[in-house]
Structure 1
C-alpha cells in the first residue's frame, strides 16, 4: 500500500531510493536541521555533507512503511538497509515542514 506523504518527504525518500544526493538535498530548507546518529547538522551545506557521508559509508536506502502526524510533525517509520551492522533496521524519521520544505528531520 502506497503512503500519502507530503511532497517534500516523498521527494526525499524517492531520491534516497536512487542514491540521488541532489534530489535528497533539494526538499530541505536553507536553514534546515538534521539530527542523526547523535549528531546535529544545520544549514543546506551541512545537510548535504551529512547525506554525502551517510551514502558513502552505508549506501543506505529507506522504504517508508507507515506514517502519522504528531504535534505538527510527520513521523515516517521506514525500513532502512545498507552496508551497516544489523541491516536492515526500522527507524522513525520525524519531519517538520515549513513553507513547503523540510525544516527539521530527526532520525532514530
Structure 2
C-alpha cells in the first residue's frame, strides 16, 4: 500500500546511513559524515545548494564552526523507502537562538543523494 502521507517512526528506526550522518555531524566528524553521501549528492541549507563531495565537505566544515549550539533529534518520519524527515531542535548563539529544523533526506543505493535542511 502506497500513501503520500508521511508516517511517524521512532528516531532509532531511521535508516542506518541517516543515523551515521547525524551522529557524525553532531560529533564534528566530517569524514564519516561525508561518507554517508553519494559523491554527486546535494545539500541545501540556508537557501544555498552545495553539490558534490568537495562542496559538501566545505559546508560540513563551515557548519561545524560557525555557531555553538545544542541539537536534539525530536522526531522522524518515513515518507517512502527513499524519503525520510528527521526533525531537530537547536538552541545556540545563532540568529534567533532557537529553531526546529526538518532534515529531508532522499536516499539512493544506500547513501544520501539529497538533503534539504529548512524550518
* TM-score, length of structure 2 as denominator length: 0.81
Determine helix, strand or coil for the equivalent of 1:3. Answer: helix
Distance 1:106 1:52, change over 3 A: same
- 2:98 counterpart (57, 73, 88): 88
- Distance (Å, rounded) in 2 between the aligned partners of 1:97 and 1:22: 19
- Distance (Å, rounded) in 2 between the aligned partners of 1:78 and 1:27: 19
Report if aligned partners of 1:36, 1:106 keep a CA contact under 8 Å in 2: yes
Most deviating of 36-45 and 54-63: 54-63
User: Structure 1 stretches (4+) deviating beyond 3 angstroms?
Assistant: 59-62
1:54 alignment counterpart: 63
* TM-score, length of structure 1 as denominator length: 0.88
The size of the alignment, in residue pairs, is 108
- Distance (Å, rounded) in 1 between the aligned partners of 2:87 and 2:53: 24
- Unmatched 5+ residue regions in structure 2? 1-9
The alignment status of 1:79 with 2:89, answered yes or no, reads yes
Deviations 1:49-90 (A, max 9, x none): 111111121245532211112254101111123431223311
Larger radius of gyration: 2
Determine helix, strand or coil for the equivalent of 2:94. Answer: coil
Distance 1:35 1:9, change over 3 A: same
Query: Over the residues paired in the alignment, what is the CA RMSD in angstroms?
Result: 1.8
- Unmatched 5+ residue regions in structure 1? none
The alignment status of 1:33 with 2:20, answered yes or no, reads no
